[in-house]
């Protein structure tokens, strides 16, 4: 396909079909950055309420930088990939502390900020500062590979350079932000992964994949990620209206979020074996065992059950806190804690 024709048709399509999104109505780098971080691995309709909540609670990067991490995690709750929230908070602090509250306007400087990779840096640079830096994400891979007939395996690191080079050769110097938004929307709306709207596509006449019958083969992605199964047995110790939780530490999933005591296994355990794993199980009265809940993450499938136990004596309640490094919280306090959506959903069903 002729490159100039591709660019012109793409931008013309965008002028008629673009989605009306709040971060498209501004060139404020803070709001553009916020939207890009929230929408990583997230659909627009899912991310929209989070974006609006963050903008309302933290209207400026200074407001976000001054927030407590626990508050940020709580507002992020349910969106997943919680390292994004921690990086979001760290980045805001960097912008305020090292750049006097102003996002840098150059691609290379933006890359120095916590949690900002090449895609996000290009998005901010082009949309907020009109810099000529092309974005390359899954949508861009798909559009370029199909239109130009590229069979480079996008699972391989070297392929990113091929697509980024082409995108930067295509991006018009007078409309970089418009082009980036156009190609992202085109991939999201028109040139979709499955059942793309080729019959009404303005590029179909010159699209390599369409004319060669190779739509289903592109983009090429051969890498397969093995999904690991985990079995989570949450133990809920309850006494006089209070429950015991602790904050997850380390670098695993859900760092900084609060959870009940967890007995994690690689295979499904019987109720009896889970309860027998606790010291002196006669100290508790079993109230309920939930049905198993399946929770899917990118590389993991979690099968969770919740064992609700009433602790018989106050001294026992205090001893459990020391033994298992737990802390007592009222239901009102728990509502304010950042928690994995898996636990939040259980609490809503069983307690709220």
Q: What is the pLDDT along the chain (352 residues), one digit of tens a residue?
A: 789 999 999 999 999 999 999 999 999 999 999 999 999 989 999 999 999 999 999 999 999 999 999 999 999 999 988 999 999 999 999 999 999 999 999 999 999 999 999 999 999 999 999 999 999 999 999 999 999 999 999 999 899 999 999 999 999 999 999 999 999 999 999 999 999 999 999 999 999 999 999 999 999 998 777 889 999 999 999 999 999 999 998 878 899 999 999 999 889 999 888 888 887 778 899 999 999 999 998 889 999 999 999 999 999 999 999 999 999 999 999 999 999 999 999 999 999 7
Q: Are residues 178 and 44 in the same domain?
A: yes
Answer yes or no: is 275 within a domain: yes
Cis peptide preceding 219, ω within 30 of 0: yes
Q: Are residues 238 and 317 in the same domain?
A: yes
Q: Are residues 243 and 104 in the same domain?
A: no
Q: Rounded to whole angstroms, how far apart are CA atoms 263 and 324?
A: 11
For residue 339, CA distances in Å to 46, 296, 307 come to: 18, 16, 17
For residue 209, CA distances in Å to 97, 110, 217, 222, 233 come to: 48, 35, 8, 18, 48
Q: Are residues 59 and 178 in the same domain?
A: yes
In our burial notation (b when 16+ CB lie closer than 10 A, e otherwise), range 107-117 reads beebeebebbe
Q: Rounded to whole angstroms, how far apart are CA atoms 137 and 157?
A: 13
Write out the E strands in 160-268.
Answer: 228-239, 242-247, 258-259, 261-265
Answer yes or no: is 70 within a domain: yes
Answer yes or no: is 145 within a domain: no
Contact 91, 116 (CB under 8 A): yes
The structure tokens listed for 119 are 């895609």
Judged by DSSP in three states, 236 sits in strand
The structure tokens listed for 70 are 């626990």
**Would you state the pLDDT for residue 277?**
84
Answer yes or no: is 44 within a domain: yes
Q: Are residues 331 and 246 in the same domain?
A: yes
Q: Are residues 59 and 182 in the same domain?
A: yes
How many domains does the chain contain in total? 2
Write out the E strands in the chain.
Answer: 228-239, 242-247, 258-259, 261-265, 284-289, 293-296, 300-311, 327-330
Q: Are residues 176 and 310 in the same domain?
A: no
**Would you state the pLDDT for residue 282?**
80
Catalytic residues: 36
Answer yes or no: is 223 within a domain: no
Q: Are residues 336 and 246 in the same domain?
A: yes
Phi-psi region of 225 (alpha: psi -120 to 50; beta: other; left: phi over 0): beta
Q: Are residues 18 and 121 in the same domain?
A: yes
The structure tokens listed for 260 are 């009940």
Answer yes or no: is 210 within a domain: no
Q: Rounded to whole angstroms, how far apart are CA atoms 29 and 119?
A: 14
Q: Are residues 249 and 303 in the same domain?
A: yes
Answer yes or no: is 263 within a domain: yes
**Would you state the pLDDT for residue 281?**
72
Q: Are residues 174 and 266 in the same domain?
A: no
Answer yes or no: is 290 within a domain: yes
Q: Are residues 176 and 242 in the same domain?
A: no
Q: Rounded to whole angstroms, how far apart are CA atoms 69 and 85?
A: 9
Whole domain around residue 119: which residue ranges?
A: 3-134+164-189
Cβ count near 125 (within 10 Å): 29
Residue in the block written with tokens 């018009």:
172
Q: What is the CATH number of the domain that holds 318?
A: 3.90.79.10
Q: What is the CATH number of the domain that holds 82?
A: 1.10.340.30
């Amino acid at each position: 396909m002729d490159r100039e024709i591709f660019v012109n048709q793409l931008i013309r399509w965008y002028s008629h079909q673009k989605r009306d999104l709040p971060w498209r109505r501004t060139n404020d780098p803070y709001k553009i950055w916020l939207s890009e971080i929230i929408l990583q691995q997230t659909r627009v309709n899912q991310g929209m309420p989070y974006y609006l909540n963050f903008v309302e609670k933290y209207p400026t990067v200074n407001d976000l930088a001054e927030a407590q991490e626990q508050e940020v995690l709580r507002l992020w709750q349910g969106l997943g990939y919680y390292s994004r929230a921690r990086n979001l908070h760290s980045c805001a602090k960097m912008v305020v502390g090292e750049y006097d509250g102003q996002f840098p306007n150059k691609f290379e400087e933006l890359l120095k900020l916590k949690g900002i990779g090449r895609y996000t840096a290009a998005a901010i640079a082009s949309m907020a500062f009109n810099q000529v830096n092309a974005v390359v994400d899954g949508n861009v891979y798909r559009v370029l590979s199909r239109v130009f007939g590229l069979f480079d395996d996008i699972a391989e690191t070297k392929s990113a350079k091929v697509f980024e080079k082409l995108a930067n050769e295509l991006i018009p110097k007078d409309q970089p932000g418009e082009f980036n938004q156009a190609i992202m929307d085109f991939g999201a709306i028109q040139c979709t992964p499955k059942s793309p709207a080729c019959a009404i596509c303005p590029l179909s006449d010159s699209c390599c994949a369409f004319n060669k019958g190779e739509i289903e083969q592109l983009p090429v992605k051969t890498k397969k990620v093995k999904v690991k199964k985990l079995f989570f047995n949450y133990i809920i110790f309850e006494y006089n209206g209070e429950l015991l939780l602790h904050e997850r530490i380390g670098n695993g999933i859900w760092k900084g979020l609060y959870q009940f005591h967890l007995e994690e296994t690689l295979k499904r355990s019987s109720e009896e074996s889970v309860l027998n794993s606790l010291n002196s199980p006669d100290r508790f009265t079993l109230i309920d065992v939930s049905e198993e809940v399946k929770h899917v993450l990118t590389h993991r499938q979690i099968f969770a059950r919740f064992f609700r136990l009433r602790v018989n004596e106050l001294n026992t309640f205090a001893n459990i806190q020391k033994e298992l490094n737990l802390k007592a919280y009222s239901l009102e306090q728990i509502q304010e804690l950042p928690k994995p959506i898996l636990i939040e959903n259980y609490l809503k069903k069983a307690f709220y």
